[in-house]
Structure 1
Amino acid sequence: MKTTSITAFYVCFSFLCFSQESPTSVLKLNLSALTLGTYSLQYEKVLGKKISLTLGAGYRPVKRVPFARTVERYIDAADSRIDYISLANVKKGEATVGTFNLTPEFRFYLGKNKSAPIGTYIAVFGRYNSYFGKAPVFVDMEYRGVMARVELPVDTQIKTYSGGLMLGKQFRLGNRFTFDWFIIGGHYGKVTIFGESKQDLEGYDEQFIKDLRAKIIDTFKINEQYLALDVDKSGVRVENARNLKLLNLRGLGFNIGYRF
């Protein structure tokens, strides 16, 4: 009995020592996402000497767009390359946006002298993004001989589903901490769009409704092969008429992690 107890003690002690020396889990906080007002965590679990599985999640409450002037310049520059809608008449500085995302990935660690979760890695990942908020837009049109500006605060929901590859490197900081750098990657997928502006247009005649729809299409250069626009006396709605493609970059992320 005594021998059995001593044996059990050494087995448990060895297990604890191994766990302390070789933790197989890392919980990480994305520092770069915090600069955009997003709270993003990632959990990584080592599955083998060179392989790990991670799951990341992020959330940003609905509020003004960060770095609004920089974002506006970026959107204006990209506007000419979007072939199904123009965002020129969007009040970008007044827009609000919230986000939620999920990112599962498999990591394959490289190098002979390194093992997961330390070293350079290639990640195969999937990504789901949801963007939601309000985008104030406007159109100028004539009604009964008078020019008028029609303000349309649009509740917007954009969702993306994609998959791709990424290169990164995770560094050891002492015994328990890590620094994980998402270097660069690309992902491809699809986008779904839904926008709605609930407006009481009961006081306007059918010709005004038709003219408003035509003016929205002309102002925002809506390509009806890609986006369906519906205008009636309850408001304005726009959504996908077909699948929209997404090609995007992922990278320049900095994460601080704790190993356990």
Structure 2
Amino acid sequence: MKKKLVILFFILISIHSFAQEERRKVLKINLSAAAMGAATLQYERVLGNHFSLALGAGYRPKSLFPYAKDLEKYVDFADGKIDYISFDNVKKAESKIGMYHITPEMRFYFGSKGAPIGTYLSIFGKYNDFHGDVPVFVDTDYRGVPVRLELPVDTKIQTASAGLMLGHQFRLGNRFTFDCYIIGAHFGRVSVHGESNQNLEGFDDDFRTRLRDKILTTFKINEDYLGLVVDNQGVRIDNVRQLNYLNLRGFGFNLGYRF
């Protein structure tokens, strides 16, 4: 009887160890994205001792940014790095921004623990779609009278990029993980579209011409990169050539469940 119990014990231990080894999938939720009002999930699948593939997706409904002052600081910083448009006359705190993204990723894990635990280097691609209502204002004049035009701009920005990132995934017991994106960078292309469907039919051609010139100077628009149209239907802006996009990725925190 004792012999049978010992055999059964070792069988159970073997099954338990095998089950642990077979926990090659991790489903994660991004905690830092949740603080920004976004829902972001990632599915990671271990392929070998040191490799895994992951696919992330996120969505944020169009709404006010929860940390408006931080958004203004970020936009002001980015403003100094962009040489084809300025955001000085954008009401950043009143902007409603939504987004969704898809991020495929391949990871290489260093060390003896192997995937999916430990320090890793990832190669990733990233597609972002930002869309929102962005209010702007332009100071001009009409027949000698100073006028401030406030234009609600329906904005859409799409990016496609690829890059490298360093991170570390910690084991939390047998089932859970804590995945920390440390730092990374990605480079790619961006397309821009903005339109404000204002009825300008009541104004003469001279006003629309001067309004176009005022928008160009106010927002420091470089027409080598962005095309601006002002007509009876309102104002529209689109990129006329491919625009470069460089951004950082990191300081993200993910809670994962292994299965």
The TM-score normalised by the length of structure 1 is 0.91
- Structure 1 distance, partners of 2:53, 2:24, is 11
| Alignment correspondent of 2:253 | 254
Structure 1 residue 20, shift from structure 2 partner: 4.1
Q: Distance in 1 between matches of 2:84 and 2:232?
A: 25
> 1:161–1:52: structure 2 CA closer, same or farther, 3 Å change rule?
same
In structure 2, what is the equivalent of residue 218 of structure 1? 217
Q: Deviations over 1:124-152 (max 9, x none)?
A: 00000111001100111111111111111
* Separation in structure 2 between the aligned mates of residue 172 and residue 76 of structure 1, nearest angstrom: 39
Gaps of 5+ in 2: 1-12
SS of equivalent to 2:151: strand
What's the offset of the Cα at 1:74?
2.9
Distance 2:189 2:27 in 1: 30
Q: CA deviation at 1:161?
A: 0.5
In structure 2, how many angstroms separate the alpha carbons of the residues matched to 1:192 and 1:15?
53
Give 1:43-122 correspondences, 5 Å limit.
43-111=43-111, 113-122=112-121
User: d(CA) in 1 for partners of 2:219 and 2:36?
Assistant: 28
State whether structure 2 residue 182 is matched by structure 1 residue 183: yes
Q: What is the distance in 1 between the residues matched to 2:76 and 2:171? A: 41
- Post-superposition offset of 1:22: 2.8
Q: Kindly report which structure 2 residues correspond to 1:120-159, keeping only aligned pairs within 5 A, or say none.
A: 120-159=119-158
Q: Which runs of 5+ in 1 are unaligned?
A: 1-12
Q: State how far apart, in whole Å, the 2-side matches of 1:182 and 1:70 are.
A: 20
- The Cα of 1:15 is off from its aligned counterpart by 7.4
Letter matched to residue 33 of structure 2: A
Letter in 1 for 2:243: L
**Structure 1 residue 76 displacement after superposition:** 2.4
2:235 is aligned with 1:236: yes
What is the CA-CA distance between 1:29 and the residue it aligns to?
A: 0.6
Aligned CA RMSD, in angstroms, stands at: 1.7
Deviation at 1:70, TM superposition (A): 2.0
Supply the AA of the counterpart residue of 1:256.
L
In the TM superposition, residue 16 of structure 1 has moved relative to its aligned partner by 8.0
The residue matched to 1:190 in structure 2 has which SS? Answer: strand
Q: Provide the secondary structure at the position in 1 that maps to 2:158.
A: strand
Q: Deviations over 1:3-33 (max 9, x none)?
A: xxxxxxxxxx977862344311000011111
AA matched with 1:194: H
What is the percent sequence identity of the aligned residues?
A: 60
The amino acid that maps onto 1:120 is T
Using the size of structure 2 for normalisation, the TM-score is 0.92
Q: Report the secondary structure of 1:171's partner residue.
A: strand
Q: Counterpart of 1:93 in 2: which secondary structure?
A: helix
Structure 1 residue 48: Cα displacement: 1.0
Q: How many residues get paired?
A: 248
Amino acid at match of 1:192: S
